[in-house]
Every structure is written in structure tokens, then in C-alpha cells.
Amino acid sequence: MTAPLAPPCPAPTTVGNSPRARLASIDVVRGVIMVIMALDHTRDFFGIPGQNPVDLTTASAPLFLTRWITFFCAPVFFLLTGAAAYLSLARRGPGGLSRYLLSRGLWLIVLDVVVVRCLGYQFNFDFRVTLLLVLWALGWAMIALAGLSRLPATVTAALGVVMIVGHNLLDGVQSASPIWAILHAPGFVVNTPAHVVFAAYPLIPWIGVTAVGFGLGQIYRWDDERRRAYLLRLGMALIVAFVVIRGINVYGDPSPWSSMPTAGFTVLAFLNVTKYPPSLLFLLMTLGPALFFLGAVDRHTPRLLRPANVIGKVPLFYYVLHFALIHMLAVATCLVRYGSAHWMFESPDLANYPFTPPPGWGYPLPVVYGVWAGVVLAMYPLCAWFAALKRRRGDTWLSYV
């Protein structure tokens, strides 16, 4: 399951020459990613159970691409979390930023393992099964950044690059240690007959992406044209690096690609890189186009993307509510179809997470896309209302939602 994050959305007025336009571009990119992210979560609840979208021996091309497009979500949000933290440095100061990152990070961890888990993912308070997902990892990344932000931004970014580039050197290490599951390879933190806790988002590479984002925030002190040119060049450079390193097929991902029966599926195999944990190639593949897109919308917000700008201002609000909405729609569908919905409140083991599929449950991709569109349309007015509320009021608690 893909679960994106909700980075802080500071709006300093002393950064660069046109801060409003630049921060609008960040919100636009974040909003687009939030919209895409909802597609994967809709597929989790309404798709056909048991399908592995990245197993190219069984998955169709549309199913793979439906999953692949959502690969961009988590890396972009971790990157923008770091950038947003840097942008708020002028307003909060080093000490204030560290305290904010620490408190918000702790809040996101609680939110992930208690609030969103019970009221979004599972609709129950049965803690037999708990997955440590993206908000949990984002929370720890912010806590790590609370310390790293006291270093020069360039040093923080360099440490992040080392974590991203070097962590695949550890792929050959096999360990069942809970610490290893938390830091590098997805695995069980707790695995007993009574309780299962599974870490799906190991921390090392995600902290690295956040640290790189913090360093990237420096470019928002540059003049407009220099910044745009840098984003476009850097994005293209990462895309080229992905193609070259993936083509060499030696390092950067634990799963090498190979030729498939058709040219089209060979291309998909080339793109089929590892998200858990995010490999070097996964991050090059996703962050390259994201940076290019960030540069492309830096000058102005296209009319078509203005709704994404609204959603991007309130990512955590969107994240929590959209999960609950998708799950409620699944409950309603189950009631209509079966006359009962108890399956939607049951997650007794890891194989039945976040719910137990009823007999014959699941719908083809056109239905999934239709439900997804409805979810996004329903979320927009709620996001517009909450964004307006945050704009009118300066309550401290609003910066945590």
C-alpha cells in the first residue's frame, strides 16, 4: 500500500524574489501527487484481491502502470518535506525549527499507528495487526531532520545523498532483527501469535530523501530564472542517470531487469524497480521527473492544475479524510452487495490488511478509476474549506493538520 505524507506548508515572505509563486509551485506538485496517491488507495480497497501489480508474469500493462504512476508519491513528499522545512527556517530560526520538526514528527508517528490506522485503514481498534507506513516514516524523518537541520544545509544534503546512493550496498545483508527492519529492509518488528507489527517503510533512504530536500530548499533564495533552469537541468540529469545505471544493470536495485516476451513488457521490466526499501534507481526514476515538473510549473500555475494547488496546501487533512472516505465507500458498497459489511471491519492477520475481502470482492480497473475520480471530486470542496480556514486563522494547532 502506498501512503503518502503531509509535509509542513510554511510560507515565508523573505525567501527569494517571488515567494508566493515559488511556494505555489510546491503546492501544485504536492497536490498533483496527492491526487495520484488516492488512485492507489482506491485500488487497495476496490481492486481485485490477490493481484500483484508489479509481477509482470501475471499483471497486465494497465494494472502495472496504475501502480507505477503512484511510485512518485512518497519520494516527492519526503523531498518537499525537507524543502518546506528549509523554507521555514527564516521564520522559525534554527531552534524553533528543530522543536517544530521534533513535535510534528512525534505527532505523525502517533497519527499513523493510532488515529489513521483505526479510523482510516482498518475501521477497528483490534491491534493484532499494525503496519508502520508512510506517516510513521515521515515522522522519524522529521525527527532526524530536527538534528540535521542544525548543520549547514549543504552538509545535510550531502549526508542525504550518501544515504540514498549507498544504502543498496547493504542489500546482501540478511537479518531478522527488528532494528534492521526499521532501518533498511521491510520486515517484522513484532511477530507473535497475538500481535504483528510490520515495518513497510525502512528509514535510512527516506531520511536521506528528506535531508536532500532540505538542501534543495536553498535554491529558493536564487533568482527565478536561475532556479528554474537548475530544476530542469537537475531533473533531466537524474532521468539520464536512471536510464544509464538501470541499463548497466549492476548496481542500484536488488532486482535486475531482463528481457520480456514483448518490447512493451521489456520497457515495463526496465521501469519495475524496488520501492520497499526505495532503491537508488527507484529514487532517480521518481525524483528526476518530479524535479523537472517542479521547474516547469515554477513560473505560473496552469489553469488545469489550480485545484491541485488547493489540495497541496492541506496535504495531511486530505490524507486522513480520503482514507476514511474510500473505506466508507467500500463499506457502503459491501452493504448494498452483500447485505452486511462486517468484512470491512476485520483485519485478523497480515494477509487480510486493511480488511478481509468478502467472497467475490473486487472490481476491474475502470470501476476503480471511477471511484477514484469521485473521491477526488468529493475531497476538493473540503480541502478548499480547510485551506481557507488555515488562511484566516493563525492557531498553532492548524500547523499540525
Give residues with Cβ within 8 angstroms of 226, minimum separation 6. none
* Cα–Cα dist 247/158, whole Å: 26
The number of beta carbons lying within 10 Å of the beta carbon of residue 334 is: 20
pLDDT value at position 18?
45
Instruction: Name the grid cell of 123.
Output: 475501521
Instruction: Name the grid cell of 323.
Output: 482514507
Cα–Cα nearest to 4, from 71, 52, 62, 50: 71
Phi, psi torsion values for 198, nearest 5 degrees: -120, 125
For residues 106 and 27, the answer to whether their CB atoms sit within 8 Å is: no
Give residues with Cβ within 8 angstroms of 192, minimum separation 6. none
For residues 74 and 278, the answer to whether their CB atoms sit within 8 Å is: yes
Q: Supply the angle between the helices 73-87 and 89-110 in degrees, to the nearest 10.
A: 140
Cα–Cα nearest to 222, from 298, 301, 146, 306: 298
Q: Is residue 12 very low, low, confident or very high in pLDDT (cuts 50, 70, 90)? A: very low
Q: Is residue 400 very low, low, confident or very high in pLDDT (cuts 50, 70, 90)? A: confident
311-352 confidence digits (pLDDT tens): 999 999 999 999 999 999 999 999 999 999 999 999 999 989
* Cα–Cα dist 96/102, whole Å: 10
Half-sphere exposure of 321 (CA within 13 A, CB side): 19
Measure Cα distances from 148 to 156, 207, 371 in Å. 6, 10, 41
pLDDT value at position 395?
79
* Secondary structure class of 189 (helix, strand, coil): strand
DSSP 191: E
For residues 288 and 246, the answer to whether their CB atoms sit within 8 Å is: no
Give one DSSP letter per residue of 95-132, joined into a string. HHHHHHHHHHHHHHHHIIIIIIIIIIISSS--TTEEEE
pLDDT value at position 10?
39
Instruction: Name the grid cell of 65.
Output: 502502470
Measure Cα distances from 320 to 54, 129, 197, 231, 309 in Å. 26, 19, 21, 31, 18
Whether the predicted pLDDT of 16 surpasses 90: no
Evaluated on CA atoms 166, 168, 173, 175, the torsion sign reads positive
**Global confidence as pTM:** 0.92
Say what percent of the chain tops pLDDT 70: 95
Whether the predicted pLDDT of 11 surpasses 80: no
pLDDT value at position 9?
40
* Secondary structure class of 2 (helix, strand, coil): coil
The number of beta carbons lying within 10 Å of the beta carbon of residue 258 is: 9
| Beta strands 196-199; 129-132: pairing state | parallel
| Beta strands 187-191; 196-199: pairing state | antiparallel
141-196 confidence digits (pLDDT tens): 999 999 999 999 999 999 999 999 999 999 989 898 999 999 999 999 999 999 99
224-275 confidence digits (pLDDT tens): 999 999 999 999 999 999 999 999 999 999 999 999 999 999 999 999 999 9
